[in-house]
């Protein structure tokens, strides 16, 4: 399972917070296999996870964090 999705599912109440922030149902969040590209930045704001941890294929690790 995708680590970001696992974190959202395993942290109590986080899926509900993510769903509310996105204006979607909690069940929609539970159906994700990966965070959809258009949802990454909002999910990042709600969860506190940086975008590169949510979707490393879309958001590369910032240069200063890579050192």
What is residue 1's predicted lDDT score, i.e. its pLDDT?
A: 83
The total of structural domains in the chain comes to 1
Token pair 């109590």 in the structure block, residue: 12
Rounded alpha-carbon distances, angstroms, from residue 10 to 5, 44, 50, 53, 63: 8, 16, 18, 16, 30
Whole-number CA gyration radius for the chain: 12
Q: Give the C-alpha separation, 46 to 54, whole Å.
A: 12
29 close to 19: Cβ distance less than 8 angstroms = yes
Residue 36's domain comprises 3-66
What is residue 66's predicted lDDT score, i.e. its pLDDT?
A: 54
Residue by residue, pLDDT tens for the chain (67 residues) are: 899 999 999 999 999 999 999 999 999 999 999 999 999 999 999 999 999 999 999 999 888 755 5
What is residue 67's predicted lDDT score, i.e. its pLDDT?
A: 52
CATH code: domain of residue 56: 1.10.260
């Amino acid at each position: 399972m995708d680590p970001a999705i696992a974190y959202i599912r395993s942290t109590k109440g986080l899926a509900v917070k993510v769903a509310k922030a996105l204006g979607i149902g909690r069940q929609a969040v539970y159906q994700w296999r990966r965070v959809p590209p258009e949802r990454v930045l909002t999910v990042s704001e709600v969860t506190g996870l940086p975008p590169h941890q949510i979707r490393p294929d879309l958001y590369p690790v910032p240069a200063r964090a890579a050192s």
